[in-house]
Amino acid sequence: MHRDGCLLLPNAWDAGSARLLAAAGFPALATTSAGIAFSHGRPDHDFFTEQPAGGRLDRAAMLRQVGEIVAAAGVPVSADLEEGYGGSPETVAETVALAHAAGAAGGNIEDFTGDRASPLYDRELAVERIAAARAAADAAGAPFVLVGRSDALLVDRPVAEAVDRANAYLAAGADCAFVPGASDADTIALLVRELTGPLNVVMGLTGSKLTMAELADLGVRRVTVGGSLIRAMYGHLRRAADELRNSGTFSYAEDQIPQTTLNDVFRHSARAQPGHRV
């Protein structure tokens, strides 16, 4: 779908959000690891060595929810697989195989380690991890769009390193490159120009004013919105909670979706379509 034009994949975090997004007419969705973690009352994958033991949602729980999203969506779903839930290429390969078994039609593997002292995987190992993910995806026997993600910009590395890593991941078998942290037109244009494959960017972050039309003009092929939808939902929830607690009023309910509308959406039978390329 991203070979021509610019594909927008909004990020779902549970079966209900997936059903609503699919009902809105999006031809494919992505998941958000942050949103799934938040929906379990857990923090997103971050510098995990600074989090309490057991703070991060484990792979099994994450992939169970990915499977529920796939089953509810009825359109192809690309899974946020974070760093593959382990450092070794073998673990990454297993994660991709499990994501495929859960019905995902694609997924991303990032090079962020979670270790503040060494926040990115060594370049050679990072490339081996993408190659292992590609081999596992191909062995599954159905199309799987592999996204190679470099978090270089998020840990204050130069753009040149982000380009180098992303191109190495494309050469190792990734179908698409993802460089979060690139949100201004100049940086995105540079990435489009320097990368050897299609670029995914994440929008919906504070301060980013680019539109889908402008991103398409820049040459971007895929756009995701990360955890911004669930953060916006939680923003509304917190404002509603503050209103209830502090004012004793109920104006938060004025923009709610009618129950009959939601019943109609969730009553509709949806069938997953694993194997479709996104």
SS (H, E, C) 27-41: CCEEECHHHHHHHCC
Where are the strands (E) in the chain, listed by range?
A: 7-9, 11-12, 29-31, 77-80, 106-110, 145-149, 176-178, 199-202, 222-224
Q: Report the predicted TM-score, pTM, of the whole model to 2 decimal places.
A: 0.93
194-252 residue pLDDT tens: 999 999 999 998 667 899 999 999 999 999 999 999 999 999 999 999 999 999 999 99
For the chain, domains (ranges, CATH) are: 7-227 (3.20.20.60)
For residue 197, is it left (φ>0), alpha (ψ between -120 and 50) or beta?
beta
Strand order in 222-224's β-sheet? 7-9, 222-224, 199-202, 176-178, 145-149, 106-110, 77-80, 29-31, 11-12
99-148 residue pLDDT tens: 999 999 999 999 999 999 999 999 999 999 999 999 999 999 999 999 99
DSSP class of residue 184?
Answer: S
- Smallest CA-to-CA distance from 37 within 9, 67, 61 is with 61
pLDDT for position 47: 75
Mean pLDDT for the chain overall: 93
Q: pLDDT confidence of 275, banded at 50, 70, 90?
A: very low
All residues at 6 or more sequence positions from 246 whose CB lies less than 8 Å from its CB, including other chains: none
